């Protein structure tokens, strides 16, 4: 049983997984490897002079797995509510999690199939997005959404920030108090 399952490993999904895993929660990213970011050239990602989307995706997955997130390349075909959370059914396996974060980018077929409320998108070339509250909750308790599928701008840096924000909101709910992840830089003293 995972604490948090994230569907998607683009900037929103990997960022959410990084925060969840670093907080010590059992985390899994299930990724179909179809993120729009794989086609991106990024000159506007803060802290990085330039990078290509495929490299950004690889680094994001590496950061999340460094802290213990599991990464599975597969397509989630269904999500079923259980007594203890959710069962995620992929083309090959099944996984259980207490919480789910949908970070599927422009892909909405799964979210529509499982009954997540949707609305027309406002971002160019994006047709439909999930209806979410300001914290990222959908109409299905325990299922949250982050990034483009949650109506956030398609810009990678914005979806990454939203993925982190949604993860922090879930962690705060799980812990019963506001979660903050601040590491302190400690330069070598000579």
Q: What is the pLDDT of residues 66-121, one digit of tens each?
A: 999 999 999 999 999 999 999 999 999 999 999 999 999 999 999 999 999 999 99
CATH architecture of the domain with residue range 2-175: 3-Layer(bba) Sandwich (3.50)
Residue 60 has pLDDT above 80, yes or no: yes
pTM, rounded to two decimals: 0.94
Q: Quick one: which of 127, 156, 126, 151 has its CA closest to 138?
A: 151
Q: Where are the domains of the chain?
A: 2-175
**Residue with more model confidence, 189 or 23:** 23
Q: Quick one: which of 160, 2, 157 has its CA closest to 72?
A: 2
Alpha-carbon separation of residue 169 from 20, 88, 178 (angstroms): 10, 21, 8
- For 154-164, what is the mean pLDDT? 94
pLDDT digits (tens, 9 = 90+) for 28-41: 999 998 877 777 77
Expressed in percent and rounded to 5, the helix, strand and coil fractions of the chain are 30, 25, 40
């Amino acid at each position: 049983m995972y604490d948090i399952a994230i569907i998607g490993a683009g900037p929103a999904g990997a960022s959410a997984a990084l925060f969840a895993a670093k907080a010590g929660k059992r985390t899994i990213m299930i990724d179909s490897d179809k993120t729009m970011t794989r086609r991106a050239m990024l000159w506007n990602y803060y802290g990085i002079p330039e990078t290509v989307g495929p490299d950004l995706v690889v680094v994001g997955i590496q950061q999340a797995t460094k802290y213990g997130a599991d990464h599975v390349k597969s397509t989630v075909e269904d999500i079923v509510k259980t007594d203890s959370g959710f069962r995620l059914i992929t083309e090959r396996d099944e996984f259980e999690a207490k919480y789910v974060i949908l970070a599927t980018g422009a892909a909405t077929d799964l979210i529509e199939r499982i009954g997540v409320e949707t609305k027309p998108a406002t971002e160019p070339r994006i047709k439909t997005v999930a209806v979410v509250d300001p914290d990222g909750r959908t109409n299905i308790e325990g299922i949250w959404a982050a990034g483009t599928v949650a109506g956030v701008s398609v810009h990678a840096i914005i979806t990454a920030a939203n993925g982190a924000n949604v993860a922090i909101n879930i962690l705060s709910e799980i812990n019963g108090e506001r979660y903050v992840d601040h590491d302190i830089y400690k330069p070598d003293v000579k």
